[in-house]
Amino acid sequence: MHDFRSDTVTLPTPEMRAAIAAARLGDAARGDDPTVAELERLACAMTGKDDALFVPSGTMANLAALIAHGCRGGEVIVEETAHIYNSEGGGLSVLAGAVPRPVKGKRGILASTDVEQAIRDGGDLAQAPTRLICLENTHNAAGGTVTTPATMAAIHAVARRAGIAVHLDGARLFNAAAFVDVPIGELCRHVDSLWFALCKGLGGPVGAILAGDAAFMLKARRAARMLGGGMRQAGLIAAPAIVALQDPYPGHRRDNALARRLAEGLTALSPALMDGDVQTNIVNCFIDDAPAITRALGERHVLALAKGRRIRFVTHAQVDETSIDAAIAALADVLAMHSRRSAHA
């Protein structure tokens, strides 16, 4: 099987399994697990933030951040197709008490001028005041698009003028960093809090890192604990993440390049399949009958995800050039079969 459904399908490498076996352990919720402490120190250094916390999932990282930023009763500006707004069960409102304020981005990327216009300063007593601006880099639903450091800086400047914090959903932050060719610290500079996934492009088995300044993180640590994020011998899952963080950029550059190669192949089949350039490791292709076509791809050992007219392919450490060629050949075959059927209908 060539599995392009998500970069979450990767399995730990032999080196990661060896690190799991050798991990020094303790009760992480009591601050006693040396491996978790090492991972959090490493994440601090990479993000340039005061403190970092190992949490079980990105959804929990987002929720803890919303709670720690005091969003209850206020508005949170989100891009209208953002994961935090569309794909986290409404936790933003249900658990953090925030009112989402969706703003349309260009291929998922918010413009600082649109963000500025959406801010509510609390002067009108009928309106919930803006408490937080959420960015997503890369943007999942938009097809792995990247918000550049310059755009992030412009949005941060708008937020600062309004006295509002900026939070970054950086599930695939390393893919963004590989695309703009900067270390992740450059993408963390322009936000007050952020998280990145350890179990997507990095290939670790479980978890995410939430980071921010000391005052924010004190509240975030409390919120994560309240949400059930206190883990015990979590060094078992922190150890492979430490392995993954040793030299993360070449792997993410490779994943981005594989996705571009897939996009080129799909464009060659039919330019109408594609909607804009592919920047990182997600390739969205648009076609009628996407669910039926995705099922037919599966019969040819190529797994992808269908949603509406969209078929999503995600590259990661466990697909390679052979997988890309297999995906292009399978789609060519399925499209040819479909057009023969349409001609006979």
Question: Which residues of this chain interact with ligand PLP, rule CB under 6 A?
Answer: 57-59, 83, 136, 140, 169, 171, 197, 208
Name residues whose C-beta falls within 8 Å of residue 344's C-beta, 6 or more positions apart in sequence.
none
Nearer to ligand PLP, 16 or 328 (CB): 16
Provide, rounded to whole angstroms, the least separation between the CB of residue 343 and ligand PLP.
Answer: 39
Provide, rounded to whole angstroms, the least separation between the CB of residue 17 and ligand PLP.
Answer: 21
Provide, rounded to whole angstroms, the least separation between the CB of residue 64 and ligand PLP.
Answer: 12
Please work out, in degrees rounded to the nearest 5, the angle formed at the alpha carbon of residue 47 by the alpha carbons of 43 and 48.
110
Measured in residues, the chain has a length of 345
Name residues whose C-beta falls within 8 Å of residue 299's C-beta, 6 or more positions apart in sequence.
none
If phi > 0 it is left, if psi is from -120 to 50 it is alpha, else beta; for residue 99 that is beta
The label of the residue with tokens 């216009």 reads: 117
Provide, rounded to whole angstroms, the least separation between the CB of residue 138 and ligand PLP.
Answer: 8
Provide, rounded to whole angstroms, the least separation between the CB of residue 279 and ligand PLP.
Answer: 14
Nearer to ligand PLP, 57 or 318 (CB): 57
Phi/psi of residue 164, nearest 5 degrees: -115, 145
Nearer to ligand PLP, 59 or 112 (CB): 59
The CB-nearest residue to ligand PLP is 58
Nearer to ligand PLP, 34 or 230 (CB): 230
Beta-carbon-side half-sphere exposure of residue 148 (alpha carbons within 13 Å): 6
Please report which helix (H) or strand (E) contains residue 254, including its range: helix 248-269
Name residues whose C-beta falls within 8 Å of residue 121's C-beta, 6 or more positions apart in sequence.
129, 130, 162
Nearer to ligand PLP, 78 or 296 (CB): 78
Nearer to ligand PLP, 148 or 267 (CB): 148
Provide, rounded to whole angstroms, the least separation between the CB of residue 270 and ligand PLP.
Answer: 27
